[in-house]
Structure 1
């Protein structure tokens, strides 16, 4: 093994662009000589490695998302990886997309199609949940040009919209509470200021070995998991949580106004881009419990679960986040449009090869019964964003 993609190199490059993330393109992954690297780096806790080289959840461009419209314009230049089951891939996929199982992604990007050869590597699945988790793992493994396509194939073509349209809803209203809630935040573990000490022993204990080996080991372990080990549907989580509330530590990863307006009973609110960082409230999370992180649409929650898994926690994401159990409230408050208006009629290729088979051209736009509603407090779009 002569070379290995290194998280330290890519995070160092990312930090160089942190002051103005909109002014520079995302840096690509790099390779360095493995033998020279192992002689120069000491063994450190993985939490310390990530703290010194990016503190990923606190970056302004976290989570790493691209819209379907961007992929449509750039799929000939981007590397698109479809993580769905082979039979669903054959039924229709983005032109040029490769069908790769998630547990094979690491080797695919290191050996078959090197990530550094492309401006962006975009992961696609059914609603963006698995793809977002894989994006998080790959970012933490040093692939700093990886992204998830927002909402996955559900918004690429109406033929595949079912998982999104059927996944949103108002399930389990008895498990939702409003106001400040019963679980209140406590003092921060540390601050992002020079000279402040962080007790690395408060984080999960991982094998003491060279950073590159440990990072790859954790990434492969995460990517081999079954879906239920890191993603939970509302109908899987709520019935269990209702009977066993102490088995999960639930994090509402949303700004305060959304938490106050409605959150899962017992959930603790973590402030986005702050509290999940190593210098934030990460050390408060129990090491012996399952952790469920949920956000608005599930994309941020998935990448947050990846962050937790890499550090040795038992991270999970709630599929489609708040939209899966309090969708009507989000629509009523005009915090997001009806998801049916997000569905496009972009071209797909049928068959088991990226470009082979029948190509279905872009269809004429569908007529809709009502105009797309406005969304309150819409932020300026950036590469990342909230999801």
Structure 2
């Protein structure tokens, strides 16, 4: 009798287990436990490791005499708001958005130049482009802030001796030795695809649809323990300037050489550099790989500007032309 009851109980549970399993599978489709390995192998094999993506990715505004040649060199995608684009943009630039950057790139024939307000959101876009076949896409350094002084407001508000000193005298800035390197498991990718190219396409689309991922220096300095912080400088610069309390220094950061295993997949990863432009590139790439990553906006320019000897934003003294066509 006990055996019969046990058998009937099992039969009663089977439909419930089956329906629960189906419900779970319908809500999340996982490409497989090896999706991260498939993606990263594909990236390395096709010269899209992070150091490759960070090669020749940025260009400064030209001298006034070279503007015409500069403009003729690129197809320019301006991802500022439609209103700001209409008020003045680089001649020939096409208004786009981070989310639509890959769609608008299909209509181009020249090397791509992406323009935003500060160079930071454009860096996210350039990672998406470089991982999608546009291998020579570049960021306009400093964004439109570096093109014309009338558009420099965002940089001026977040750098300089007054607005760029968040870390000076702050207890969260230190000259103590930087945190040691650890090894972690890789993030679990939730994807529907199973091949390298398809997983990459899916992850890039996820990154750009998620928008720019940034955090202010004030937020990080107030609660540095809330983040896994990576100082993306050379060791000599860390020794010279100091760093945020608890920061690591993982640079270079590559898949092929294994440094990617030094990033904590369970933490909110904050990368900082000099200007927020390189860290935006790194952040976009990490988000493609499945990390929860943020870029520290405006970088060291927002924290220790008065102490910096290089890599400082300076408002242009020569205004390059703007078009309203």
Q: TM-score range by the shorter chain?
A: 0.7 to 0.9
Point out 4+ residue stretches in structure 1 off by more than 4 angstroms: none
Task: Tell me whether 1:267 sits opposite 2:247 in the alignment.
Answer: yes
SS at match of 1:45: helix
| CA displacement at 1:346 relative to structure 2 | 0.3
Distance in 2 (alpha carbons) for counterparts of 1:337 and 1:324: 10
Could you tell me whether the CA contact under 8 Å between 1:56 and 1:62 is conserved in 2?
no
What CA deviation, in whole Å up to 9, does each residue of 1:237-265 have, x standing for no partner? 433x25xx1x3110000001211221111
Sort the Cα spacing of 1:50 and 1:343 in 2 relative to 1 into closer, same or farther, 3 A: farther
Picking from 135, 144, 157, the partner of 2:148 is 157
Picking from 262, 265, 273, the partner of 1:284 is 262
5+ residue gaps in structure 1? 1-41, 190-200, 351-355, 357-387
Distance in 2 (alpha carbons) for counterparts of 1:225 and 1:43: 19
Distance in 2 (alpha carbons) for counterparts of 1:63 and 1:316: 22
Pick the structure with more helix per residue.
Answer: 2
Sort the Cα spacing of 1:290 and 1:338 in 2 relative to 1 into closer, same or farther, 3 A: closer
SS at match of 1:102: coil
Distance in 2 (alpha carbons) for counterparts of 1:343 and 1:151: 14
1:204 corresponds in structure 2 to 187
Written as runs of structure 1 = structure 2, the 5 A alignment for 1:169-248 is 169-173=164-168, 174=170, 175-181=172-178, 183-186=179-182, 202-206=185-189, 207=191, 209-227=194-212, 230-239=213-222, 241-242=223-224, 245=225, 247-248=226-227
2:318 corresponds in structure 1 to 344
Picking from 229, 240, 254, the partner of 2:233 is 254
What CA deviation, in whole Å up to 9, does each residue of 1:120-167 have, x standing for no partner? 200000110000111112212222021000000001001101111121
1:353 corresponds in structure 2 to none
Task: Tell me whether 1:143 sits opposite 2:134 in the alignment.
Answer: yes
Sort the Cα spacing of 1:231 and 1:106 in 2 relative to 1 into closer, same or farther, 3 A: same
2:104 corresponds in structure 1 to 108
1:374 corresponds in structure 2 to none
Could you tell me whether the CA contact under 8 Å between 1:252 and 1:294 is conserved in 2?
yes
**TM norm structure 2:** 0.79
- Higher mean alpha-carbon deviation, 203-212 vs 126-135, is at 203-212
Sort the Cα spacing of 1:43 and 1:292 in 2 relative to 1 into closer, same or farther, 3 A: closer
Sort the Cα spacing of 1:78 and 1:63 in 2 relative to 1 into closer, same or farther, 3 A: closer
Distance in 2 (alpha carbons) for counterparts of 1:301 and 1:308: 10
Written as runs of structure 1 = structure 2, the 5 A alignment for 1:79-90 is 79-90=75-86
Distance in 1 (alpha carbons) for counterparts of 2:134 and 2:237: 32
5+ residue gaps in structure 2? 1-34
Could you tell me whether the CA contact under 8 Å between 2:113 and 2:140 is conserved in 1?
yes
| CA displacement at 1:62 relative to structure 2 | 2.4
Distance in 2 (alpha carbons) for counterparts of 1:275 and 1:148: 20
| CA displacement at 1:235 relative to structure 2 | 3.6
**TM norm structure 1:** 0.67
